[in-house]
Amino acid sequence: MASLTKSYLDLINDCDRFPYDHPFKPPGDHWTKIYQFLLPEDPRPHGFMLAETVKKMPWTSDFVIDHETRTVRLSPSQDKGDLSISCTTALSKLVQRAIDEDTFRVIHRTHSEAYPIIGANFPVSLERYGSTLFGIISRGAHLTVYTKTASEMKIWVPRRSPDLFTYPNCLDTTVAGGVAFGEGPFECIVREGDEEASLPEDVIRNRVVHCGCISYVGLNDPKGDGETGLIAPDIMYVYDLELPENMVCKQNDEEVKEFYLMTTDEVKESLAKTEFKTNSALVMIDFFIRHGIITAENEKNYAEIIARLHRRLPLPTTSQQGHNC
């Protein structure tokens, strides 16, 4: 059976799937039904919810739903003194109710780590699984570890465990993790670098280079597990680590099945065959651009690819006061 191969732009289209024209007047019925999620005393939307989600959610009295303006406003009924506490508590109660009633498959009937609402005017968190239903910006940190042999560059690529909820058996970035509430993306890499690839903390702290971030607006897809079509704005902070040939990455927890040291041609081939986790493919493409493997001379969609890898998200990423969780 001949397998379909994908271009770099195809891979980006698979990941960055939300329409560009206008978030509230895009073509098609699906998108005209989006609800904006609002926080108290802030006119800016912090998430985009599907009408189906709004309909199914076991709302508490802390939320005001307006079907005319298509908004869900968090308006805590208690503890108005400290919005940080009252909003986090209200969101937590709602998630607990959704767990108890088993309303959504993406929640997996279980609690998950706290994620911040990054553009909020005060620190506020929501559990990871719950935040996907609200279409809030999630953040990940991705480290690409590579080595330069005499003849070429090679990249450390793990295969995900077959037991993971999402993207089982797919290839992935060397080290990656979700950035939790109160954590900086670099600290996430320090933590995950040991857990996932047995990389010593001092090696990470002394040699890793911060290289920017990738941003896109995904729609969660059938390869994931749970509701589909949820709007998933995401920021992936990217880091590089060059290791000498005598240092290796090896699995250290149950999330990674095994590590391969792949040539860039092998990575290209695996990308084309969609063997990578959807958003990790973008990290590889960005790495190839920054290291001169993809160039304006060998890729006709160069400018388009680079712009799409750094989408300006339709939600704020800093507070109105410049505060940043």
**Given the rule CB under 8 A, which residues bind a second copy?**
20, 22, 184-186, 209-213, 215, 235, 237, 289-292, 295-297, 300-304, 306-313, 317-318, 322-324
* Nearer CB in complex with a second copy: 139/154: 139
Give me the least distance between CB of 300 and a second copy, in Å please. 4
Give me the least distance between CB of 1 and a second copy, in Å please. 27
* Nearer CB in complex with a second copy: 126/213: 213
- 3-state SS class at 239: strand
SS3 content of the chain, % helix, strand, coil (to 5): 30, 25, 45
Nearest CA among 56, 50, 45 for reference residue 120: 45
CA separation for the pair 129, 18 (Å, rounded): 20
Give me the least distance between CB of 233 and a second copy, in Å please. 11
Contact yes or no for 36/72 (Cβ under 8 A): yes
Give me the least distance between CB of 181 and a second copy, in Å please. 15
* Nearer CB in complex with a second copy: 170/285: 285
**Continuous H helices in 5-112:** 8-15, 29-32, 51-56, 83-100
Give me the least distance between CB of 293 and a second copy, in Å please. 8
- 3-state SS class at 233: strand
* Nearer CB in complex with a second copy: 50/271: 271
* Nearer CB in complex with a second copy: 259/287: 287
Backbone angles phi, psi at 106, to 5 degrees: -60, -20
Give me the least distance between CB of 211 and a second copy, in Å please. 5
Nearest CA among 236, 231, 223 for reference residue 279: 236
* Nearer CB in complex with a second copy: 114/190: 190
CA separation for the pair 173, 159 (Å, rounded): 9
